[in-house]
Amino acid sequence: MKFSVKIVVIFTALCSTACTTVSREPVKSIDIYVKPYYSAEKGKAENVFVHKQLDPMLRENSLNGYQSAVKFVQENPARISPMTMFTLAARAYDFGLRDEAVKWFYRGQNRLITALYVLDLPKATVAENTGFSQVVGQFVNPYAFCDLNKQRQLAKEAVDWVIAHPYEIIFMKELPTKFQDRQIALKEAEEKLKARLKTQDEFFANPQHKAKWQKERLENHVNERFCW
């Protein structure tokens, strides 16, 4: 099944019915179509156009190629786009590295949130990035929440990583901003990331909310599809 980017939404961590179709089949790969940036079918990438140095590595459809791309990102974190990290997440899932997929998806999502908060980007750019986030999130988030403790740890690590590695383009004068002081604005955005974690904690601390969430996952066969 393929998806195209049409929706302008940042996918939230509390995904339930909105992120699944009613099916019982385990989801083994992220087969999507995000024109013109990424497409994959049956777990193999067909098109990758997110980063000129990483694209060839990811097109290899090999674990070595993926690991080389990850090494590059780890050594050059400042200018890696959220879309690139969403692509790493999709590739990791296809290789069965689903915790890695969660890690890169959350890092990309958090970096995107900070960029959208500080910068005044064109609507088309916002749509492309948030759409990519939602499409990949439809696969990664249901798996992430199979283990709430692990998910919470990965989410916290992703926030810490994004704070430790500010996105360089936020400070590029060529890109318009909504604020006079970008550094202060970035700190405000980082506080919002921490607040999202607190909101999640409060949600799951409420027995009624948690029970309703679990019921929706069961009704939509989320555990059968992703918790294998």
Q: What is the mean pLDDT of residues 133-145?
A: 97
Domain residue ranges of the chain, discontinuous segments joined by +: 24-226
Q: Place 23 in a pLDDT band, splitting at 50, 70 and 90.
A: confident
Write the pLDDT tens digit of every residue in 200-213: 999 999 999 999 99
**For residue 4, what pLDDT is reported?**
36
Say whether pLDDT at 6 is over 60: no
- What lies within 8 Å, CB to CB, of 24 at 6+ separation is 221, 224, 225
Say whether pLDDT at 21 is over 60: no
**For residue 10, what pLDDT is reported?**
32
Q: Place 22 in a pLDDT band, splitting at 50, 70 and 90.
A: low
Read off the amino acid at residue 134: Q
Cis peptide before 36 (omega within 30 of 0): yes
Q: What percent of the chain has pLDDT over 70?
A: 90
Q: What is the mean pLDDT of residues 109-115?
A: 98
Cα gap 192→117, rounded to integer Å: 10
Q: What is the mean pLDDT of residues 162-187?
A: 97
Contact present, 26 and 225 (Cβ < 8 Å): yes
Say whether pLDDT at 135 is over 50: yes
**Stated pTM of the model:** 0.90
Angle at which helices 148-164 and 123-144 pack, to 10 degrees? 140
**For residue 17, what pLDDT is reported?**
40
Say whether pLDDT at 2 is over 60: no
Q: What is the mean pLDDT of residues 75-92?
A: 98
Residue 207 has which token pair?
A: 């027995």
Residue 101 has which token pair?
A: 């997929």
Say whether pLDDT at 156 is over 80: yes
Q: What is the mean pLDDT of residues 78-107?
A: 98
**For residue 157, what pLDDT is reported?**
98
Q: Taking all residues of the chain, what is their mean pLDDT, rounded to a whole number?
A: 91
Chain mean position to CA 161 = 14
Q: From residue 59, how far is each of 10, 38, 47, 173, 178 by CA, in Å? A: 27, 10, 7, 33, 37
Label residues 188-212 b or e (16+ Cβ within 10 Å = b).
ebbeebeebeeebeeeeeeeeeeee
